[in-house]
Chain A
Amino acid sequence: MSKIITLLKKDFLLELRQQHTFFGILLYVASTIFVLYLAMGQPESTVYDGLFWMIQLFVCINAVAKSFMQESKGRMLYFYTITSPVQFIISKLIYSSVIMLLMVLVSLILFWVLLGNPVMNPLQFIGIACLGGLSLSLVFTLMSAIAAKAHQNAAIMAILGFPLIIPQLLLLIRLSKSAFGEVFREGALLQITLLLIGLDILVVVLSVVLFPFLWKD
């Protein structure tokens, strides 16, 4: 446990010291949404919903990609000697979820400021957005590990991750329609939410089980 905290501390400290990467992603988020605003003005709720999740997807690829790719080969060897793979992947999962949640909140604010607010139930939408950000970042963390091990760029991560994330993304888009005032069959909302949470747990378990195989070279 203390090792996980130490690893997390190191990641956040790096984030604080190398602010250019963090601000780079922030700028990426801001400029994408600004371009959207220039292109569409204030779209209606279906378009808004779809656009929001697409932006989250691309932000996630950019934000989470570096979690493994920033580690050089020498540094990975160093981690190999001081920690266990399970601790390492758990710290990475937490780190990328935190970064992604931050990005989700920033893009929510920007969406509200620039693209208007067709959301009828803001609190619910924030909750769904956070759940979605969590799901996205968990899946892409392991994809980032695979892509980094394959010595590939972020493109391969997108190729691997997109098909895997489509089902969850479709569920999220459906779920967030409820925040735009669409009425659902009784119990369906809870069902989808539980399904998403269940999938998140599954992803975490799989990452913990599978990462040790990726780890050793």
Chain B
Amino acid sequence: MKLKWWKILCMVFLCFTFTAGFLIRVPMVGNLHQSIRNFFFHVPMWFGQMGLLSLSLVYSIAYLRTQNLRYDIYASELAKTGIIFGLLGLATGSIWAKYTWGEFWSNDPKQVCVAIALLIYMAYLVLRGSMNDIDKKARISGVYNIFAFFIYIPLIMIVPRMVQSLHPGGMEGAKGGGNPALGGGSLDATMEMIFWPAVFGWLLLGIWISNLKIRLYLLANKNVIHE
């Protein structure tokens, strides 16, 4: 079995996350207690999702420029993995929210944004499913993917900063300075040391999963897609 360097890196990072993430001494922040360890699993899901969806966008643009069907397959499989990451992030987040904010779902702006993202990308899959002609499917869904990404990203970058939020980094976030993804000052040095490897580990895992699915798809449709 041939292992690429980044796959090894992914495994090392994730093993590190799972061992060190559960074993280190964590700072006590508010009512988070030990649940702050979820930080290594919940937040990287969002980095992973954003990374995968951005890659999906890149391949959609590449498809429209070159009309190479492989890129369309890349875009759709990356988007699918992005949806899975989104669902996992929502699940880990809801469980965390239940024990810190008291409710699985509290209509927090970020929760709403995520729900919208999932709806958008599921609509993308519905659109893909509604057409049979592969060239047409690739072109039209590529257009939708690009359009959706550019509408959605500015909103999740701007809206959470404008309104009050239970998440750190809302409008009146203390030191967060309004970054919707990070709690800013609440991350201490040891946590940061595990957090960034966790982010890259999960992102690489997402790419790995998509990579396998793409290869499977290309093998199954060998007679349709040429180099």
Contact = CB atoms under 8 A, between A and B. Distances in A.
Instruction: Please tell me the size bucket of the interface on B.
Output: 20 to 34
A202 B150 contact: yes
B136 to A, nearest CB: 7
A214 interface: yes
- Please report whether the interface of chain A is mostly helix, strand, loop or mixed according to DSSP: helix
B127 A164 contact: no
- Please report whether the interface of chain B is mostly helix, strand, loop or mixed according to DSSP: helix
Contacts of A160: 123, 126-127, 144
Given A156-B130, A160-B123, A167 B159 contact: yes
Interface stretch (A46-54, A122-130, A145-153): A145-153
A146 B127 contact: yes
Interface string B109-136: 0001100100110110011001100001
A152 to B, nearest CB: 6
Given A142-B147, A206-B147, A213-B64, A149 B140 contact: yes
Interface centre among A146, A160, A207 (most CB of B within 10 A): A160
Interface string B142-156: 111011101110110
Given A164-B148, A164-B152, A150 B140 contact: yes
A207 B148 CA distance: 11
A156 B120 contact: no
Interface in A123-165: 139, 142, 146, 149-152, 156, 159-160, 162-164
Interface string A25-40: 0000000000000000
A163 B152 CA distance: 9
Interface residues of A, number: 31
B170 to A, nearest CB: 13
B139 interface: yes
A213 B144 CA distance: 11
Given A156-B126, A191-B162, A195-B158, A206 B120 contact: no
B152 A210 contact: no
Nearest to A145: B143
A210 B149 CA distance: 13
A1 interface: no
B159 A156 contact: no
B150 A206 contact: yes
A213 B151 contact: no
Contacts of B126: 156, 159-160
B154 A202 contact: yes
- A-B interface, 4 closest residue pairs, ranked by CB to CB distance from nearest: A163-B119, A163-B120, A167-B155, A210-B143
Interface of B: 64, 112-113, 116, 119-120, 122-123, 126-127, 130-131, 136, 139-140, 142-144, 146-148, 150-152, 154-155, 158-159, 162
25 contacts: A139-B151, A150-B127, A150-B131, A150-B140, A152-B130, A159-B123, A159-B126, A160-B144, A163-B116, A163-B120, A163-B123, A163-B148, A164-B120, A164-B148, A164-B151, A166-B116, A167-B113, A167-B159, A170-B112, A188-B162, A191-B162, A195-B162, A199-B155, A202-B150, A217-B136
Given A163-B122, A167-B151, 8 more contacts: A163-B119, A163-B123, A188-B162, A192-B162, A195-B162, A206-B147, A213-B64, A214-B139
